[in-house]
A and B are shown apart, each in its own frame.
Chain A
C-alpha cells in the first residue's frame, strides 16, 4: 500500500494506480471488509475526481457501505415482504432508529429489537452489555423514556463437551454466564426493567451464539425527535462518553463470518458504561422537555461517520465537522479512528446556536461532558477538518447511499417424512421435558434482572403464587400513572421449525408472538423483527432469508400488524456452519384495562380447563421428538384464519372476565403447558384427553401444533365461554396432582411438587 502523510496522522492512499491485488491488500490492511467489486467502485469514483483519497475518506465510505449500515443484501427482500404493512396506529415506521406507534391520544410507544451477536461471541460480558446500551439509545434518541428491556438469547447446549469445541470458540456455559451478567449489570444499573426474553439452547448455536436485545419507551407525541437535520446552521453537539479506540470497525466486524482469529478483534467490541448512560438519559429527556433538540441520533454501529452522514443526508443538508473538537479517551488517535469509533454512551444533538448555553447547563447539572464539533451547512457535501487542515470532501450521497444487491438465492426442497416411535412412558417423558434446558425454569436468569424497577410491571415475567411462580407468556407494563391502559410485551422465535422450513418457521414465530400476547389479554398491535441469518453470499442462506421474510410478511399482513422497526444480522457463520434461520420477534400488544390481564397460573379448585385450537400429528422441530431422538420433517403448519378467529374469541371471553388463567401451548406441548400452570398456582388438575378425538396420546400431549392455548374458565361460566370460544373441555382444577387419562386409560399422576422439582432443576445443575 502506497501512502503519504499529508497532515498529522492523515495519509493519502494511492488508489488511482492500484491493481486488483493492491486493492485487495488495501482492503485487508485497512480492515474495510469490502468486496473487490466495491473496492473497484471506490477506485472508479476517485478516478472520476482525478485525485487520491485520504485514509479517513476510505474508512468513511467503507463504513457506510458495510452490510451492517447499508443493509445491502437484505433491503430488496425486506421491501418486498416486510415493509409497508398498512396500520393506522403506526406513526414512524422503518425510518429512524426505532419504530413509533400510537399508544393513546397523547402518547406513543417506541420500540426496536436488534442483534449484538458477533461482539458477544468474542467478549460475552461487554458485548451483551453494549447490546443493551445500544438499543436503549435507539429508543432515547426518539425522545422517549425507556421503560422496558427484552433479551432473546441463543446458545449451544450447556453440557456441550469441551473437546468438541472448534478452535477459538468459547464454551456455551461461559458465554451464557458472561452474556447474562452483561445484561444484568447494564440493565439493572441503568434502571430499566428487563421483563421478557428467551434463552434457547441448541447445538446449532455452539459456533455462533445470538444475543438480541430489545427496548421499549414511551413519549408524548409532541416530544418525538427525529434523526434528521433539516436546516443549515444547526450546531452538532456531541455529548456523553468520550471517544476512544474501543469499537473500531465494529460494523465491519459484524459483516464478516467468525473465525478462530475473531478473538484478535476484541478491540472491535465497544465498552459500555451504564453510569454515564443513566444521567445521560436524564439529561437528554430534560433537554427534550425544554424543546431545544432539533434532531438527534445515538452513536452506535458506525460511530460519528454514520450518524452525521445519515442525519444530514436525510435532511438534505451538508455537514462541516472539526474532529479536533471531539473529546477523546486517549491521545494520539488518528482522525479516521475518531470518525469510525463506536465508543458507547454518546449522542449527537443538533441544536440552535442560541440554545448551546442551555444544553451546557443541563450537562453540567448531570455531570455529562459535551463539545460542539461542527454544524450543518448548505449543500450536500461532507467536509471534515483536522486542526485547520481540510481532510475530507465527499458528496454525502456517495458515502451513505451505499450499494444494494439482489443476491442469488435457492430455496431448498423439503422431503416429507415422520418416524413413528414406540409409545413412551408418559411420566418419564413429561419429567424429562420439564427438566430439559429449553423448557425448564429460567428463574435463575430472570431473577438476576430487575424486572420491578420503575414500578410499572403489573404482570410479571414470573407469574403465580409468590415463590411458586411459573413462566408467563408476556409481561405487561402500565406506562402512565393516570391510565389503566397497558402494553404487553413478549418475544418469540423457533429455530428448529425454521430449520426444517424457513417459511413455516416464520409463520410459527408470528403465531407464537400472537399466542403470547393473547394469553395475557392483550390485542396484538405491532412487531419489531430481529432477523438472524447465516452468510448471505451463500445461495441457500439467501433462500432461507427470502422464505422467512415471506412468512413474516404473509402472517403479519393477514393480521394487519405492521413491522415498525428491526434489524438484520447476517454472517452468523463459523467453521462452515451457519445458524438456522432465526427471525426473532419482539411483539407489543395493547390491553385497554390492565385489571383484566390474565396470568398463566391455575387459580381455583373447581374451575374448568379447556383446550383451544386444533392438535395435529406434526412433530417436526418438537422437543418431544428431540428428546426421544425421532426424526420428522413435518413442521407445524399455521392456519392464519384460525389464528385470527381464536384470537378474537379469547380476547372477547377475557374481556367478559370468564377466563382466570391462560397459557399458550408451545415447547413440550399440552402436557408441559398444564404442568407449568399447576406449578405456578401450586394446585393440581384432572384431565381427560378423549374429547380431543382419535389420536395417539403422546401426540395429543406433546405435539407443538400452533394456535393453541389452555384456558381455565370460572366455574359456572362454562356455557357462556363455550358460546364465545371454539374450545374443548378437557378437565378441571382440583387436588395437588397433575392427573391425565385418555378415556379410561390413566397416563400419569404426578404431584405438583415433583413437577416443580424437575422443572426447577433444569438449569440448576449447570448454574447453581
Chain B
C-alpha cells in the first residue's frame, strides 16, 4: 500500500514509523504539509495516512490544535474524501490529538465540525514516559492480528481522553474503543497502569466505521522485540507494536 507519513515542524516520530511500514514492504514516503499546500502531492494518491507523534508547531497551545488548523485549511475536503472512501488514517500520540481536533474522532455521528472530545493534561499534571499494558477491546482493521494483551510505551503530557457522558456512551455502543489500559494481568487499571486518568481507561479509539484510529501509546516504538524493556525477561518474535502495523496492511 502507499503510505504517507505527514510532517510539519515538530513532528518527530516519523523515522520509526517509516521504518515500520518499510519493514512490512510498503510503499512509504514522508509528506511534508508544505508539499500538500503547494499542490506538489495529493492525498488521494495514498492508501494510508499516518500522523506521527511529536510536538507539532511546538504545541504551545492545546496539543495538536495548530497542526489540525493548518491541515483543515489546506486539505479538509481531501481528508473527508479519504475517510469516506474507507482508506486508513492512523494518528499516534500527537497524531491522535490532531484527529480529535479535526473532528475525525470520535465522530460518533460522522466527522464533526468542532472537537467532540479532548485529550487533556494527565492527572499527574506532567509529561510521563512509561510502558503500559493494553487490552484489545474491539476488532477492527487495526487490531485483527494483535494479541489480546500487549505492551507499548506512552510519552505525553496530554493524553487523558475526556468527553461528554452521552458521547462516551455512543463510543462504547459503537464499539469504537480499540485499546484500554490494563494491569499486566488484564484487570482494570489504576495509576500508573492508566498513565493519564483517561475515561474508561481509553488508550485508543476508532471512528464508528473503523478506518480511523487514534492511539496515545506508540506502536512504532515497539516494532522490534529489543525495543521492549522486558526483552531480557520475555522472548518475543516481534515487538508488540508490529501487530498493529501488520493488521493495517493485511488484505
Residues of chain A at the chain B interface (Cβ within 8 Å): 184, 188-191, 273-276, 278-279, 364-367, 446-455, 457-458, 460, 462-463, 465-467, 469, 478, 481, 594-595, 597-599, 603, 660
Contact present for A447 and B129 (CB under 8 Å):
yes
Query: Which of A453, A465, A603 has the most B CB atoms < 10 Å from its CB?
Result: A453
Interface window among B11-19, B97-105, B106-114? B11-19
Question: In the assembled complex, how far is the CB of residue B107 from the closest CB belonging to chain A, in whole angstroms?
Answer: 29
Contact present for A454 and B15 (CB under 8 Å):
yes
CA distance A460 to B35 in the complex (A): 37
Asked, given contacts A188-B55, A274-B58, A367-B9, whether A447 binds B130 with beta carbons under 8 Å apart, the answer is yes
Contacting residues, chain A, for B133 (C-beta < 8 A): 466
Contacting residues, chain B, for A450 (C-beta < 8 A): 127, 129, 155
Contact present for A460 and B19 (CB under 8 Å):
no
Contact present for B58 and A455 (CB under 8 Å):
no
The 10 tightest CB contacts between A and B, nearest first, are A191-B12, A275-B58, A455-B16, A189-B55, A450-B155, A279-B9, A455-B221, A458-B226, A466-B131, A452-B153
Contact present for B54 and A191 (CB under 8 Å):
yes
Asked, given contacts A447-B129, A467-B192, whether A278 binds B12 with beta carbons under 8 Å apart, the answer is yes
Contact present for B218 and A367 (CB under 8 Å):
no
CA distance A273 to B55 in the complex (A): 12
Within 8 A of A (CB), among B32-67: 32, 34-35, 53-55, 57-59
Q: Assess whether B166 is interfacial by the CB under 8 Å rule.
A: no
Contact present for B9 and A275 (CB under 8 Å):
yes
Partner of B230, one of A275, A455, A466: A466
Contact present for B12 and A190 (CB under 8 Å):
yes
Partner of B12, one of A184, A453, A462: A453
Contacting residues, chain B, for A184 (C-beta < 8 A): 127
26 A-B pairs (CB sep. < 8 Å): A189-B10, A189-B59, A275-B55, A278-B9, A364-B34, A365-B34, A447-B128, A448-B129, A449-B129, A450-B127, A450-B129, A452-B153, A452-B155, A452-B227, A454-B16, A455-B15, A455-B223, A455-B224, A465-B233, A466-B133, A467-B131, A467-B192, A467-B193, A597-B232, A598-B232, A599-B232
Contacting residues, chain A, for B12 (C-beta < 8 A): 189-191, 278, 453
Contact present for A465 and B127 (CB under 8 Å):
no
CA distance A365 to B38 in the complex (A): 10
Partner of B151, one of A188, A278, A462, A466: A466
Within 8 A of A (CB), among B184-238: 184, 192-193, 218, 220-221, 223-224, 226-227, 229-233
Contact present for A448 and B221 (CB under 8 Å):
no
Contact present for B9 and A453 (CB under 8 Å):
no
Query: Which of A452, A465, A597 has the most B CB atoms < 10 Å from its CB?
Result: A452
Contact present for B218 and A452 (CB under 8 Å):
yes
Q: Assess whether B2 is interfacial by the CB under 8 Å rule.
A: no
Other A-B pairs, 5, CB within 8 Å; known A188-B55, A188-B155, A446-B129: A184-B127, A447-B129, A454-B15, A466-B230, A660-B232
Contacting residues, chain B, for A447 (C-beta < 8 A): 127-130
CA distance A513 to B120 in the complex (A): 41
Contacting residues, chain B, for A599 (C-beta < 8 A): 232
Contacting residues, chain B, for A458 (C-beta < 8 A): 226-227, 231
Question: In the assembled complex, how far is the CB of residue B239 from the closest CB belonging to chain A, in whole angstroms?
Answer: 9
Question: Across the two chains, which residue of chain B brings its CB closest to A598?
Answer: B232
Contacting residues, chain A, for B72 (C-beta < 8 A): none
Q: Assess whether B80 is interfacial by the CB under 8 Å rule.
A: no
Give 1 or 0 for each of B127-143: 1 = CB within 8 Å of chain A CB: 11111010000000000
CA distance A189 to B93 in the complex (A): 13
Question: Across the two chains, which residue of chain B brings its CB closest to A596?
Answer: B232
Question: Across the two chains, which residue of chain B brings its CB closest to A448?
Answer: B127
Query: Which of A451, A466, A481 has the most B CB atoms < 10 Å from its CB?
Result: A466
Contact present for B19 and A481 (CB under 8 Å):
yes
Count contacts between A and B, CB distance < 8 Å.
Answer: 105
Question: Across the two chains, which residue of chain A brings its CB closest to B126?
Answer: A448
CA distance A448 to B125 in the complex (A): 11
Contact present for A365 and B32 (CB under 8 Å):
yes
Contacting residues, chain B, for A594 (C-beta < 8 A): 226
Question: In the assembled complex, how far is the CB of residue A441 from the closest CB belonging to chain B, in whole angstroms?
Answer: 13
Contact present for B226 and A478 (CB under 8 Å):
yes
Question: Across the two chains, which residue of chain B brings its CB closest to A597?
Answer: B232
Question: In the assembled complex, how far is the CB of residue B230 from the closest CB belonging to chain A, in whole angstroms?
Answer: 7
Contacting residues, chain A, for B220 (C-beta < 8 A): 455
Contacting residues, chain A, for B10 (C-beta < 8 A): 189, 274-275, 278-279
Contacting residues, chain B, for A446 (C-beta < 8 A): 129
Contacting residues, chain B, for A366 (C-beta < 8 A): 9, 32
Within 8 A of A (CB), among B18-38: 19, 32, 34-35
Contact present for A465 and B155 (CB under 8 Å):
no
Contacting residues, chain B, for A452 (C-beta < 8 A): 129, 153, 155, 218, 221, 227
Contacting residues, chain B, for A365 (C-beta < 8 A): 32, 34-35
Question: In the assembled complex, how far is the CB of residue B188 from the closest CB belonging to chain A, in whole angstroms?
Answer: 15
Contact present for A595 and B233 (CB under 8 Å):
no
CA distance A478 to B231 in the complex (A): 14
Question: Across the two chains, which residue of chain A brings its CB closest to B153?
Answer: A452
CA distance A184 to B155 in the complex (A): 12
Contacting residues, chain A, for B32 (C-beta < 8 A): 365-366
Contact present for A460 and B233 (CB under 8 Å):
no
Asked, given contacts A453-B13, A460-B229, whether A466 binds B34 with beta carbons under 8 Å apart, the answer is no
Contacting residues, chain B, for A660 (C-beta < 8 A): 232
CA distance A226 to B55 in the complex (A): 31
Question: In the assembled complex, how far is the CB of residue A147 from the closest CB belonging to chain B, in whole angstroms?
Answer: 10
Contacting residues, chain A, for B130 (C-beta < 8 A): 447, 466-467
CA distance A467 to B130 in the complex (A): 8
CA distance A478 to B228 in the complex (A): 13
Contact present for B229 and A595 (CB under 8 Å):
no
Contacting residues, chain A, for B224 (C-beta < 8 A): 455
